[in-house]
Amino acid sequence: MSVAERPLSELASADTVDNVLVFVSDSTRFDALPDRVAERGVTAEAIAPSTWTASSLPSLTTGRYPTTHGVWGFDTRLARTPRLLSEPENVGFDAGTIWTHVESAEKPPLWMNRLTDETTLDELEPPFVHVVHDKGGHAPYGQSFDDWEVSSEFFDAYADRPDDIAEWYERGVSESVDRFLALVDRLDERGILEDTLAVFTSDHGELLGEPSRGGIYGHSAPLVPELARVPVAFVGAGLPAGERYDHLLSGVDLAPTALSAYGIEPGRGFDGVDAWRSSPPTDRWPRSEIWSQYTFEPLDRTMPLYAATSVWSDEGGVVFHHGSTAIRTAYGLGGYLLFEGTAAAIRANMTPRKLLALARTFGPRTVTYGSVSRPMLDARSGLPTEFARSPDREPTDDAEGHLDKEQLRKLGYIE
C-alpha cells in the first residue's frame, strides 16, 4: 500500500513511542505551511474543529467537537482535564509565546484544560506528552504583543498596506515553524526523536483580506476554507520524510491518535479517529463549527451573532448557517466594518466587489465552497442544530476572574 493508504503506525519505526510533542501554531492556515516542515515528515490537510481558539483548542486536547465538549468561549472550561493531559506519566504545557505577561494558571489555554503550571520541553524526562500553544500566525503578524497595546492598533497603523500585512503574516508563521523545528532538533540532540511523535498543527486558519471573502482580516467568522483548513505534520517516530498523507484529517483526530501512539488505548468517547492505528474513512466529512454570541450586560440578555456548522471534503465544503439571517448579515457588514479590531484595514481596502462578497458570505442559509456532492448538501439534517452549552464543562460565577481582559483585548478577542 502507498503512504496515503496506511495508518501512521505502519510507517513508523515502532508500534508505539515513548513521547509525544504537540505543537499548536495559532492561526496557521494550510496554504501557509512552509515546505521545510513538510520535508521533515508526513504532512496532511486537516479541518479545524472551530474557527477560534476558545472552542478549537479544547477539541484538539479532548478529541471532541465543540458541540460535544460545550466550550464556546473563554468564560468556561472543560469539566475535567482531558485524557491526553492527565493519563501520560509526565505532562507539560507551554504557552509562553502567546499569553505574555499572564500568570500560567490564568492563561486560558491552561485554565480551560484545568492545568496550572507551564513546563518547557527540556524540563521533561521520558516518557512524556508535551503540548505547546505557540503564537503562530496570530496578529499582530510577525510582531510581538508587547509592541501593540491592542490588536486593532496594528491594523490601524497598517490599514493601507495590505501587501505588507500578508508578508508579515508569513513571517509570523515562519518564525513559529522555526520554533517547532528547534524543538525537533532538540529531541534529536537528546537522542529521543525516533522515540517521539512530534505533531505540528493549528487550531484554526486566518483571513488576510481576500476579496472573495469581503476583505476580512482575522478569524472566528465567517466559516470559510481559509479558517477551516489547517496543516498537520507528523515528524519523528521513524516516519518517512517528505511524504503527503492524502486522507483529510480533523483536529479531533489529534487526541486519539496521540494517545494511541503513546501506547494508551483511546477507546470510546472521541469524535475523532485514531490515525495511528487505522486510516480515516475516505467517505467521512470532518466538521467545523462556531457559535458567537454577544451579552448585553445591562439587560443580562445574550444574542447569537453568528452560528454555523459545516462539512468538508478534499474538494470542497458546505457551511450551514443557523439563526437569524438579518442579525448574521448585520454582524457581517456592520460588525466588521465598524466594530471589529481589523475594521480600519477592511474599510481602507473596501470595494463594491468586496462588499457584495461580504454579504454573500454571511447572508445565505447555505454557502458552498469548491466542489461538493449532493449528499454533502443534504448533510444539514444530520448535524447539530442546538448550540447550548454542554453539561460537560464547568460554569463559573466569576469566570472572568480567571482571565486577563487586557490580554484578551491585545489578542483582539474583545473590544
Helix (H) or strand (E) holding 375: helix 374-377
Say which residues have a Cβ less than 8 Å from residue 85's Cβ, sequence separation at least 6.
61, 91, 93, 113, 115, 129, 131
CA 384 to chain CA centroid, nearest Å:
20
How confident is the model at residue 399, as a pLDDT?
43
How confident is the model at residue 339, as a pLDDT?
81
pLDDT in tens, 313-325: 999 999 999 999 9
Cell of 10: 505502519
Say if CB 15 and CB 191 are below 8 A apart: no
Q: pLDDT category, 210, cuts 50, 70, 90?
A: very high
**Side chain identity at 193, as an amino acid letter?**
L
pLDDT in tens, 24-71: 999 999 999 999 999 999 999 999 999 999 999 999 999 999 999 999
Question: Considering only 94-108, 136-150, 196-210, 398-412, which range has the smallest mean pLDDT?
Answer: 398-412
Q: pLDDT category, 393, cuts 50, 70, 90?
A: very low
CB atoms within 10 A of CB 323: 16
Nearest to 346 by CA among 327, 326, 361: 361
Q: pLDDT category, 405, cuts 50, 70, 90?
A: low
Between residues 350 and 201, the one the model is more confident about:
201
CA 361 to chain CA centroid, nearest Å:
21
Dihedral sign from CA coordinates of 344, 350, 356, 357: negative
In the sheet with 301-312, reading across from the earlier edge strand, the strands are: 287-296, 301-312, 316-322, 366-370
Question: Considering only 61-75, 87-101, 172-186, 379-393, which range has the smallest mean pLDDT?
Answer: 379-393
Radius of gyration for the alpha carbons in the chain, expressed in angstroms and rounded: 20
Dihedral sign from CA coordinates of 229, 235, 240, 241: positive
Domains of the chain, each with CATH number or no CATH:
1-388+395-415 (3.40.720.10)
Between residues 117 and 388, the one the model is more confident about:
117
Mean pLDDT of 276-289: 91
Dihedral sign from CA coordinates of 87, 75, 99, 309: positive
What torsion, rounded to 10 degrees, do the Cα atoms 368, 369, 374, 375 define?
A: -90
